[in-house]
């Protein structure tokens, strides 16, 4: 199977969802990763119909950051998001961990968060939803070394491989794809220019062709999500430009 291209609504707030989903499909994206509140999205039935009418597939649902302690609301909210994804028929829930305060994070703190991810992942498994961990700078895993220590603590939980955070840690994203090849369940693409977010190709942060080729070579064949850069959002030109860049490199 070939990689499938999706787009994140990370920058979207309250917006004309139907118009934007149609724009994604018309510009050549196949999927959409939703970040919006459930109050805004409405029922699974409503959202399934809208996406189908627009010709777009829902690639993944995002949850709030997994908290540092399970008694914080975000832990249970992630369970509700998993249940929403299941009702929606979406087999993937992506979420980051807590913002980091310890540097480096000690093993006991990594283990505590890993245990919460595993509980969420087992809840997801019972509902047909894969839970995937998104490593992120300035969070509790905040180096290539911590990433390497954290991943063996996970079993049911999988990995969202975001090349931009690997680059910021000085970790070759191609090597990261090889190192974690058996864990990848989602891939994110970002770019950066002059210290700020950018659309794909404006940096570039890495050799995107080589990265995506490597992702395929290690056996991944799922969704690749473009996370748009700064600026007006949603913006039809940004959707068009990001998709055009991917097409220009053979994707």
Whether 147 has a pLDDT exceeding 80, the answer reads yes
State pTM to two decimals: 0.96
Q: Which helix (H) or strand (E) holds 193?
A: strand 191-193
Cα gap 173→213, rounded to integer Å: 12
- Give 34's strand partners: 61
**Residues 155-176: tens digit of each pLDDT:** 999 999 999 999 999 999 999 9
What value does the mean pLDDT take over residues 152-157?
Answer: 98
What value does the mean pLDDT take over residues 2-7?
Answer: 96
* Largest distance between two CA atoms of the chain: 48
DSSP summary character for residue 24: H
**Domains of the chain as residue ranges with CATH:** 4-248 (3.20.20.150)
Mean pLDDT is lowest, of 38-47, 94-103, 109-118, 184-193, for 94-103
Name, in order, each residue with C-beta under 8 angstroms of 65's C-beta and a sequence gap of 6 or more.
74, 95, 96, 97, 98, 99, 139
Bridge pairing between strands 223-226 and 184-189: parallel
Contact assessment for residue 226 and residue 5, using Cβ atoms and an 8 Å cutoff? yes
**Residues 178-191: tens digit of each pLDDT:** 999 999 999 999 99
Q: Which helix (H) or strand (E) holds 95?
A: strand 92-96
Q: Which residues of 209-246 are buried (b: 16+ CB within 10 A; e: fewer)?
A: eebbbbbbebebebbbbbbbbeeebbbeebbebbbebb
* pLDDT of res. 104: 85
* pLDDT of res. 15: 78
Helices and strands, counts by H and E, the chain: 10, 10
Confidence of residue 229 (pLDDT cuts 50, 70, 90): confident
Whether 245 has a pLDDT exceeding 80, the answer reads yes
* pLDDT of res. 231: 65
> Over pLDDT 90: what percentage of the chain?
84
* pLDDT of res. 1: 65
* pLDDT of res. 14: 65
* pLDDT of res. 62: 96
**Residues 69-79: tens digit of each pLDDT:** 999 999 999 99
Q: Is 7 helix (H, G, I), strand (E, B) or coil?
A: strand
């Amino acid at each position: 199977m070939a990689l499938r291209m999706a787009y994140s609504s990370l920058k979207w707030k309250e917006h004309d969802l139907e118009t934007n989903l149609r724009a994604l499909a018309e510009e050549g994206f196949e999927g959409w990763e939703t970040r919006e509140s459930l109050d805004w999205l409405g029922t699974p039935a409503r959202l399934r119909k809208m996406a189908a009418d627009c010709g777009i597939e829902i690639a993944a649902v995002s949850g709030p950051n997994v908290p540092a302690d399970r008694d914080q609301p975000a832990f249970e909210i992630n369970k509700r998001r998993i249940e929403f994804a299941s009702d929606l028929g979406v087999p993937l829930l992506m979420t980051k961990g807590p913002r980091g305060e310890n540097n480096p994070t000690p093993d006991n703190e990594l283990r505590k968060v890993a245990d919460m991810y595993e509980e969420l992942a087992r809840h997801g498994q019972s509902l047909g939803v894969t839970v995937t961990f998104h490593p992120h700078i300035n969070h509790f895993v905040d180096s290539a070394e911590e990433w390497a220590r954290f991943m063996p603590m996970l079993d049911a939980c999988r990995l969202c491989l975001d090349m931009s955070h690997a680059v910021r840690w000085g970790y070759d994203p191609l090597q990261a794809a090889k190192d974690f090849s058996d864990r990848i369940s989602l891939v994110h693409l970002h770019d950066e220019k002059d210290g700020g977010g950018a659309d794909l190709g404006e940096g570039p942060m890495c050799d995107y062709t080589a990265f995506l080729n490597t992702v395929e070579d290690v056996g991944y064949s799922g969704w690749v999500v473009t996370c748009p850069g700064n600026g007006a959002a949603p913006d039809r030109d940004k959707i068009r430009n990001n998709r055009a860049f991917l097409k220009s490199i053979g994707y």
